[in-house]
Every structure is written in structure tokens, then in C-alpha cells.
Amino acid sequence: MTFHGEVLVDGHEAAAEAIALTAPISFWGGVNPKTGEIADVRHPEYQQCISGRVVLIPATIGSSSAAAVLLELVHAGLAPAALVLHEPDAILLLGLIVAREMGLATPLAVKLDQTHYSGLHGRHVAVQSDGRIIA
């Protein structure tokens, strides 16, 4: 199965297990930057680790600190392998842009309609630099 997404932020191609989040997430307060785990006790994927996985995000809950949390994850080597977003989040993606400018290995961010997410959850997924997502 192959899907064609839109590249939002260039980064390293990835091949990893996918986790499809079933609810919106706030990176500030919702993700622990020291462990890469979902820290929001109200989130359905609470305590799931997003580090090293292709994370499919249906929506984000805004916070201007989201970029800083994602930057911390990248800096600590705990970032997702790739981010797949239903809707672009400029604040969150700023964390990847700053990480890239700092010379850090940056995950690729791609836009893909969330109707495909459930079929990708738990599968080994490759996210390529042209936006293709292959499962």
C-alpha cells in the first residue's frame, strides 16, 4: 500500500512502526521530552512512546511551546522517526525547522489525510523524502 503525502518539512527518510493517535495531542504537557512518552493522562495513547516511530497525528492542540518540546525530543535523540499530520501545525513544525538549522538529524514531516491512519497503525511504514508513505 502506497500513499502520496505532501512534504511539510524536509528531513531524514524513515522506516519504522507506525502509531496512529486517535485523539488530538498537545506536545506541551502532552509529551514528556525526557522519555518520548505521551504524558497526558486523558489521551487514549497515554504512556505510549512516540520516539523512533512514525507518528500519525489527526490534530494538534495548540501551544507556542510545542516547537520547544519537539526540538528537545530531536536534541535528545527521542524524536519520532517521522511525523504524519492531517493538518499542518506551523508552531509544531517550527521545532523541526530550528533543529535542522542547528544541524541536528531531523525527522521528515508529511501531510496525509487521516482517513488512511487506521490502516497504517502498528505496521512497518517507510516515509520517503518525496512524501510517499509505503506500508
Q: Which residues pair with 54 in a beta bridge?
A: 18, 82
pLDDT at 64: 79
pLDDT at 30: 95
Question: pLDDT digits over 27-38, tens only?
Answer: 999 999 999 999
Q: Which of 122, 77, 125, 70 is nearest to 95 (CA)?
A: 70
The reply to whether 129 belongs to the active site is no
Average pLDDT in the 111-125 region?
95
Answer for the pair 73, 36: CB distance below 8 angstroms, yes or no: yes
pLDDT at 32: 97
**The pLDDT of residue 62 is above 90:** no
pLDDT at 134: 97
pLDDT at 55: 98
> What DSSP state is assigned to residue 82?
E
The three grid cell numbers given for residue 115, joined into one nine-digit string? 482517513
Helices and strands per DSSP (H, E), number in the chain? 3, 8
The mean pLDDT value of the chain amounts to 96
Q: Which of 121, 65, 122 is nearest to 94 (CA)?
A: 65
pLDDT band at 67 (very low <50, low <70, confident <90, very high): very high
Q: Which residues pair with 112 in a beta bridge?
A: none
C-alpha span between 88 and 1 (Å, rounded): 23
Catalytic-role residue among 26, 51, 63, 118? 63
**The pLDDT of residue 76 is above 90:** yes
CA 100 to centroid of chain Cα atoms: 15
Q: Could you name the CATH architecture of 2-134?
A: 3-Layer(bba) Sandwich (3.50)
Question: pLDDT digits over 5-18, tens only?
Answer: 999 999 999 999 99
The three grid cell numbers given for residue 7, joined into one nine-digit string? 512534504
